[in-house]
Copies of this chain bind each other. A is one copy, B any other.
Amino acid sequence: MKKYNIGILGATGAVGREMIKVLEERKFPVGELRLLASERSVGKKIAFGGKEIAVALADFGAFEGLDFVLGASANAVAKKFAPNIVKAGAVFIDNSSAFRMDENVPLVVPEINPEDAKKNNGIISNPNCSTIITLVAVNAINKLSKIKAMVASTYQATSGAGAGGPVELMEQTKAIINGGEIKAEVFQYQIAENVIPHIGSFLENGYTTEEMKMQNEGRKIMHLPDLKVNCTCVRVPVVRSHSISVTVVTEKKLEIDEVKKAIANDEGCRLYDDTEKNVYPMPLVTSDQDLVYVGRIRRDLINENGITLWCCGDQVRKGAATNAIQIAESLIK
């Protein structure tokens, strides 16, 4: 079996570390694994496949001989190294938002548009985490009848802010229980016992950059250029799964039973909808897993072509690391 040399750019962050774990779990055919990070992480050792791999410096010459580079870095780092990665002949699967809206860069959720990945010019973007989870949840509906509009309110975990997010939640929680000063450095305000309707930065239209991703990235991934999305993104004191309250309006009226059946048969989803038994997706149920759980499926009370649902998925895995590795898998199939 052919093996592939993989680089991870930003290997010591939350998403980078999860990528290492997911490569191993999914038995990706890894030849060399090259862990790349900034100066201060060089030399750190991370376990993979029964060995310890030392983190190397991410510099312009670090990408030679690699087949794939999985990007788990900030936008600036992704932009800095992308030309060298492509020049070295590797495919750069980038989790940052640097190239997502670039028309020469496919934006891919493998369950939705795997064919786009094949049309890459060396760079493929991994979408925003809430967008991935929401689109996987509604993809089966879109196949039954085209989605025209979507209203989404998110309940986003602290992990979305990187490794420091859950640490800050834990520190604040300890301070509430044991006394002590509550410090807010990662988030704008205290997140423990609070919710913050602010993720990303504010745009002139009153929405945040994070909120607009659901529409902008959704249009590109689903090939629905006229899709309208009204999104509100909210941080909640949860460790790592994102939840989203979603209403979609489709071209045709769908029956609830056919929607449930389609979601149950969708490869990326787990239908988790039995209200009689209190079965519905929750962050505690979906963490450390790759499937997007979908439940609370019911008819919109406003528009008869509307379906309302609640979905939940692990932001670090399907929302980031797993999706990137699934893109690589789709390319080597």
Binding site for B on A (CB under 8 A): 149, 151, 153, 155, 169, 173-174, 176-178, 188-190, 193-198, 202, 205-207, 215, 228-230, 232, 234, 236-239, 243, 245, 247, 256, 275-276, 278, 280-284, 295-302, 306, 308, 310
A173 CA to B169 CA, complexed, in Å:
12
Instruction: From B198, B229, B256, B308, give the contact of A301 (CB < 8 A).
Output: B229
Instruction: From B215, B237, B284, B301, give the contact of A215 (CB < 8 A).
Output: B301
- Least CB distance, A80 to chain B, in whole angstroms: 29
A236 CA to B235 CA, complexed, in Å:
11
A190 CA to B236 CA, complexed, in Å:
15
Copies of this chain present in the complex amount to: 2
- Contact in complex: A151, B247 (CB < 8 Å): yes
- Contact in complex: B174, A278 (CB < 8 Å): no
- Contact in complex: B301, A230 (CB < 8 Å): yes
A300 CA to B296 CA, complexed, in Å:
24
- Contact in complex: B197, A236 (CB < 8 Å): no
Instruction: From B194, B196, B247, B281, give the contact of A230 (CB < 8 A).
Output: B247
- Contact in complex: B280, A197 (CB < 8 Å): yes
Write out the residue numbers on chain B whose beta carbons fall within 8 Å of the beta carbon of A149.
302
- Contact in complex: A177, B173 (CB < 8 Å): yes
Most buried by B among A194, A198, A281: A194
Write out the residue numbers on chain B whose beta carbons fall within 8 Å of the beta carbon of A238.
193-195, 237
Write out the residue numbers on chain B whose beta carbons fall within 8 Å of the beta carbon of A301.
205, 207, 215, 228-230
- Least CB distance, A189 to chain B, in whole angstroms: 6
Instruction: From B190, B196, B206, give the contact of A297 (CB < 8 A).
Output: B206
Write out the residue numbers on chain B whose beta carbons fall within 8 Å of the beta carbon of A302.
149, 151, 228-230
**A–B pairs, 26, beta carbons within 8 Å:** A151-B151, A151-B247, A153-B153, A153-B245, A155-B195, A155-B234, A169-B193, A173-B176, A173-B177, A174-B177, A189-B282, A190-B284, A193-B238, A193-B284, A194-B282, A194-B283, A197-B295, A198-B278, A205-B301, A206-B296, A206-B299, A215-B301, A228-B302, A230-B306, A232-B296, A236-B237
